[in-house]
Chains A and B, each alone.
Chain A
Amino acid sequence: METGSTADTGTTGDEPVWTGLPPGLLRMRRLLLVVWLGLLAVGLGLLLGLLAGPPWAAFAVLPLALMGWGWVMLGRNWASWRYAERADDLLISRGVLWQEETVVPYGRMQLVEVTSGPVERHFGLASVQLRTAAAATDATIPGLDPDEAERLRDRLTELGEARSAGL
């Protein structure tokens, strides 16, 4: 059942069509960052201000600086995630400093998982995880819309069945 054709995805040859992640994931991560580090900054400021004197409260700037840095980092990390469905394999590319690109042929997929934790669910997000027989295969696409995640899951399962192969 090897088709090898590129017609059904509309891609031309080896030029993959990349899809980025929806902005929901970035919003969620930034919100969590602001909430936690904001709480930390306030707590630290109050504690130091009360116990060690007001000048020490300036240390509360540290979490704020971390927040600013994290804000930028999360943005860059989010922007680096992308995936492409090709005719016969799925490409996932990610990472800013440590870049990693994974190729998983559909025929090697053993299992496709859609997971969504409570926080993710609140933001309307879901992750798709591909499992192959190799545990080292780490093919996860986080922060998708649940509809897109389900579409991807169904499509991957369908393609995986068509091109299925054992170990």
Chain B
Amino acid sequence: MTAPGVDDAVRGRPTVTERRLHPVTPLRRAWAPIAVVIGWAVHDPDQAQRQLTRLTTTTLLIALAVVIPAAALYGFLTWWFTHFAVTDAELRIRTGLLFRRTAHIRLERIQAVDVTQPLLARVAGVAKLKLDVVGADKKDELAFLGEDEARALRAELLARAAGFAPETAHEVGEAPSRELLRVPPGVLAVSLVLTAATWATLAAALVVPPLLWWATHSVWTVLATALPLLGAAGASSVGRFVGEYDWTVGESPDGLRIDHGLLDRTHETVPPGRVQTVRIVEPLLWRRRGWVRVELDVAGSSNSVLVPVAPREVAEAVIARVLPGVTVPPLSALSRPPRRAARCVPWWWRGYGLVVTDAVFAARHGLLRRSLALVPHAKVQSVRLAQGPWQRVWRVADVHVDTGANKTVTARLRDAQEAAELLRAQAERSRTGRRGARPDRWMAS
């Protein structure tokens, strides 16, 4: 449905080869009807049993004869009508059975590339490929591709996004990766044991159901509360262990590589210059061991962990690779709010701190669970100064720094005079900070 002129222009260029997803794709939703039936049976066992006894073998067979081919046909048709193609500047995805949908994703705007393999996909030897772009949809993932194909496609996409010539992009292949850090399973397990949230959910899961049983003597109430609580406890302990197992951070010319997972494997690549903020989180119980957790924000990406647990020096070394030219300011460099800030936020004001270096705006908050957020000046989208009436009485103000990953870093309760100067200076720095930044196509210059 393109205009004739456009059509000619397209035809003038080398033709774009469209590809299909891996043939196992139609099976990916095969479990959905079964899950629905099981869910219904669990939800209402009496009714389910009554219905089951009423079912005769014939009706069952007829139902199967209708449902299975229909589902198979649907799966097959969705697969058949989904195409993707890589052009010089874009990844095009064409999909939809009844409602056609075409997504053109500009490669130089890629914020991250994820290759994920859920457990079943690993068994089948396939993988999902997802491009994180600002404003991208869940729909714009390529699920599923063959394992090798996904890897080759990722390498090709990154090579093209990096600005390699289109003819060579195909042969550039996977950029060599150098391992920066690997989290040993033992350390990960200990770190989870030392996380208060794990214990809180576990304690809740163990204490609340007996109390409820004692109060109500109703099996259903107890089950309805115990199952979600146990689920939350499992997710925050075992789930996190499984998800963050064998966490590896690597470095390659294509950017940062983050691989993790015991059952579901995830391989994420964040091209250079895409990291908007980095946070160093230090839970209370980790402090004695000197461990920290590092979180990062990339626009359009849902993953936010860079290092689940590591000694502070190692984590800082990784951060220095992630944000080139940035050294994590030592705690002694942070300046606290003035004493009178205690009138605005009693006690906790001691946890606030701020330091601005040549490269980053760094703000700390939290007294028990310390968190230091770093924003490179080049990533600042806007700066705001806010002051409420009570804060004005005590001549303090907050400075907010907004970044592209929809995260705001706040330096709280600064002296009003200092905050006003900070606002001006930060705006200036964020404007000039761009000069030293690398281009979107990171290999082009």
Contacts and interface: CB of A to CB of B under 8 A. Distances in A.
B386 interface: yes
B339 interface: no
A97 interface: yes
A136 B386 contact: no
Question: Of residues A98, A100, A101, which shows the largest number of chain B Cβ atoms within 10 Å of its Cβ?
Answer: A101
Contact of B381 (A98, A100, A132): A132
Interface string A92-117: 00000111111111011000000000
Interface in A111-167: 132-139, 163, 165-167
A89 interface: yes
Given A2-B431, A165-B434, A132 B382 contact: yes
B101 interface: no
B95 interface: no
B382 A2 contact: no
Interface in A59-109: 88-89, 97-105, 107-108
B392 interface: yes
Nearest to B390: A97
A105 B430 contact: yes
Contacts of B388: 97-98
Given A2-B431, A14-B424, A167-B134, A102 B383 contact: yes
Contact of B274 (A98, A134, A163, A167): A167
A122 B325 CA distance: 54
Interface stretch (B28-36, B73-81, B256-264, B400-408): B400-408
B414 interface: no
Contacts of A167: 111, 134, 274, 276, 299, 379, 404
A108 B406 CA distance: 14
Nearest to B430: A105
B435 interface: yes
B245 to A, nearest CB: 31
Contacts of B389: 97-98
A136 B134 contact: no
B140 interface: no
A132 B402 contact: yes
B427 A103 contact: yes
A104 B385 contact: no
B384 interface: yes
B423 interface: yes
B404 A103 contact: no
A2 B381 contact: no
Interface centre among B299, B402, B430 (most CB of A within 10 A): B402
Determine which residue in A132, A163, A166 has the highest number of CB atoms from chain B within 10 A of its CB, and name it. A166
Contact of A98 (B383, B386, B400, B424): B386
Contacts of A102: 382-385
Contacts of B252: none
A137 B402 contact: yes
B198 interface: no
A9 B382 CA distance: 21
Contact of B384 (A89, A101, A166): A101
Interface string A1-21: 010100000000010000000
Contact of B406 (A98, A101, A103, A136): A136
A98 to B, nearest CB: 5
B162 to A, nearest CB: 15
24 contacts: A2-B431, A2-B432, A88-B431, A89-B431, A97-B388, A98-B386, A98-B389, A99-B385, A99-B386, A100-B387, A101-B386, A103-B384, A103-B424, A104-B381, A105-B430, A108-B381, A132-B382, A132-B402, A134-B381, A134-B404, A136-B382, A136-B408, A165-B434, A165-B437
Interface of B: 109, 111, 134, 274, 276, 299, 378-389, 392, 400, 402-406, 408, 423-424, 426-427, 430-432, 434-435, 437, 440
Query: Considering the complex of A and B, which 9 residue pairs feature the smallest CB-CB distances, nearest first?
Result: A134-B402, A133-B404, A103-B427, A134-B381, A132-B381, A137-B382, A167-B404, A136-B402, A101-B385
